[in-house]
């Protein structure tokens, strides 16, 4: 079992990770690695890969997903913010935001927030054979209504399972 991170560990240190590992009695190994640089020759391959709350921070999401696919032997569980426009939710849209490189000025900014359709198609395009949506945002219809009234797409959390 391996945990990887880069951004938070580089900027804020590993104190919280280490405290949680100690508190939970976890034996998870860890390695400082950027998702964009994951290499099976260095970290190996895993039957199960969890990418939870990471996708929307990625500067180059498709390139990063290619890396994730290379270290996934069976199943990727991808949980992320997804875009909820009033219409075109079934269209593969990914708006661009400044992202984590600008985190000092805007700490809560995101980079890429896909519609579930975009996430699905991106995962398929990097080689996952079967992509299944297992969770869509709560209050979805309400948020779509807000998107209509404000003329601004809303967002929520989504989860997909992608099989190699």
Ligand X SMILES: C[S@@+](CC[C@H](N)C(=O)[O-])C[C@H]1O[C@@H](n2cnc3c(N)ncnc32)[C@H](O)[C@@H]1O
Positions in the binding site for ligand X (CB under 6 A): 5-8, 34-36, 52-54, 57-58, 100
Residue 113 Cβ vs ligand X, minimum distance, rounded to whole Å: 13
Structure tokens at 120: 């699905």
Residue 141 Cβ vs ligand X, minimum distance, rounded to whole Å: 26
Alpha-carbon gap, residue 13 to 15, rounded angstroms = 6
Structure tokens at 19: 């405290």
Whole-number CA gyration radius for the chain:
17
Residue 38 Cβ vs ligand X, minimum distance, rounded to whole Å: 8
Spatial contact of 60 and 36, defined as CB atoms under 8 Å apart: yes
When the beta carbons of 5 and 109 are compared against ligand X, the nearer one is 5
When the beta carbons of 107 and 141 are compared against ligand X, the nearer one is 107
When the beta carbons of 30 and 144 are compared against ligand X, the nearer one is 30
Q: Which residues contact 73 (CB under 8 A, 6 or more apart)?
A: 45, 46, 47, 164
Closest to 84 measured CA to CA, from 113, 125, 127, 46: 113
Residue 163 Cβ vs ligand X, minimum distance, rounded to whole Å: 21
Closest to 137 measured CA to CA, from 124, 150, 128, 146: 146
When the beta carbons of 53 and 98 are compared against ligand X, the nearer one is 53
């Amino acid at each position: 079992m391996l945990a990887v991170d880069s951004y938070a560990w580089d900027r804020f240190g590993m104190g919280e990770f280490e405290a949680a590992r100690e508190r939970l009695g976890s034996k998870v190994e860890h390695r400082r690695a950027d998702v964009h640089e994951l290499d099976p020759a260095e970290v190996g391959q895993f039957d199960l890969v969890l990418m939870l709350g990471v996708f929307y921070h990625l500067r180059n999401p498709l390139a990063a997903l290619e890396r994730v696919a290379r270290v996934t032997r069976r199943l990727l569980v991808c949980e992320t913010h997804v875009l909820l426009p009033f219409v075109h939710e079934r269209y593969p849209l990914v708006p661009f935001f400044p992202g984590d490189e600008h985190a000092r000025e805007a700490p809560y900014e995101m980079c890429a927030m896909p519609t579930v359709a975009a996430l699905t198609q991106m995962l398929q395009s990097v080689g996952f054979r079967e992509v299944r949506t297992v969770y869509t945002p709560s209050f979805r219809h309400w948020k779509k209504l807000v998107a209509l009234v404000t003329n601004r797409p809303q967002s929520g959390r989504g989860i997909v399972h992608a099989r190699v």
